[in-house]
Copies of this chain bind each other. A is one copy, B any other.
Amino acid sequence: MLDEFSLIKSIEPKEQRHQELIKGIGDDAAIYSTENNFEQIVCMDTMVEGVHFTKATMTPYHIGWKALAANISDIAAMGGYPDYYLVSLAMPAEWSGDIKEMYRGMEDLSALYQMDLIGGDTTSTKNGLVVTITAVGHTDKRRHYLRSSAKPGDQVFITGYLGESAAGLALLQKEIDIKDQYARRQLIESHQKPMPQVEAARLLGKIPCRYAVNDISDGLASEANEIAEASGVTITINYQSLPVSKPLMFLEPSDRKQFMLSGGEDYQLLITAPEENSEELIEIFQQHHINLTKIGIVTEGCAEVYLIDEDNKTLLKKSGYNHFNSNEE
């Protein structure tokens, strides 16, 4: 298996050449100043057939939607608003009839944000579709949110609900079963048509304070560890505080816990904010009918994440919680 984390470390540039570069590698997207009142944001995300999706669980429309959603989510996690995107496809011949549907999925999502598709590349390949998207966005000057901004005393928040996308995938793969048709539909929709949290990210800007933000693309355990590492702090999450969506109530508690802690592709935002701003923050999210839940705290300590579940406090590793080998954890 590839170790992406050590690879990123090994390719990280030794020097920064542009003074106007605010953040390059090491966060969800890159930001650079353009000498006006905005900062430009650029990110890039790849989905590979057989690794990130298969035709068995995703239609071409959904693949297009989700590939773009992952990029918009990265822009949102920087506090930005998405403006443009570019699409590169390495495409096997058998996919050529599906490409329009894939672009339709991207178009429908991009229309919600008035994004322009501004370029890309299309090449053939013998094996497996590879979809790479670059998104470009902007944020008001100095209103970007880095992973490295968390400080002891901060509170930890999550938007929306976690685990729905992973549960939807498990349903599609018949690893779990839920009889309730409404719950089934919602979970599968969460997996196939996830919504990036652009509005939530912009709402943070209404209360100008210090935020660390990560989007939940690889699961809460992984994302919380990334903030803890980048900020050099300890994060403690209270499992009982995590909001549970109605469809997840139908699951076995152990399945639910695994999906909520380790399930990826929810594209919710994990946020840390100073305690003195917390009340106002919760209030403004309530006013705009966007769920925001306090789930933990930031303290001094090693770059670690702890999970409190009733009376148990355990280390929550980047690899996450897996009930199949929870004895080993």
Residues of A that sit less than 8 Å from B by CB = 1-2, 4, 7-8, 10-11, 13, 16-18, 21, 24-25, 29-30, 32, 34-38, 40, 42-48, 50-52, 83-84, 86-91, 93, 96, 99-100, 103, 107, 114-128, 130, 132, 134, 136
* Contact yes or no, A126 B128, CB < 8 A: yes
In the bound assembly, the distance between CA atoms of A21 and B115 in angstroms comes to 11
Q: Return 18 A-B CB contacts under 8 Å, by A number.
A: A2-B122, A2-B124, A7-B122, A17-B115, A21-B118, A25-B118, A32-B84, A40-B40, A44-B119, A45-B88, A47-B123, A51-B124, A51-B125, A52-B123, A88-B88, A88-B132, A127-B127, A130-B130
CB contact under 8 A between A116 and B42, given known A36-B35, A127-B127, A128-B127: no
* Contact yes or no, A119 B48, CB < 8 A: no
How many copies of this chain does one complex carry? 2
Our pick among B43, B96, B118 for the contact of A24 (Cβ within 8 Å) is: B118
A120: B residues at CB distance < 8 A: 25, 44
In the bound assembly, the distance between CA atoms of A10 and B128 in angstroms comes to 22
Nearest CB of B to A288, in Å: 24
Closest 6 interchain pairs by CB? A127-B127, A30-B118, A24-B118, A34-B34, A132-B132, A134-B134
* Contact yes or no, B119 A30, CB < 8 A: yes
A42: B residues at CB distance < 8 A: 42, 84, 86, 118-119, 134, 136
Our pick among B32, B45, B128 for the contact of A125 (Cβ within 8 Å) is: B128
Nearest CB of B to A53, in Å: 11
Nearest CB of B to A217, in Å: 11
In the bound assembly, the distance between CA atoms of A96 and B100 in angstroms comes to 33
In the bound assembly, the distance between CA atoms of A127 and B130 in angstroms comes to 11
Our pick among B43, B122, B123 for the contact of A119 (Cβ within 8 Å) is: B43
CB contact under 8 A between A21 and B84, given known A40-B34, A43-B119: yes
A13, A25, A119, A121 pick with most chain B CB within 10 angstroms: A119
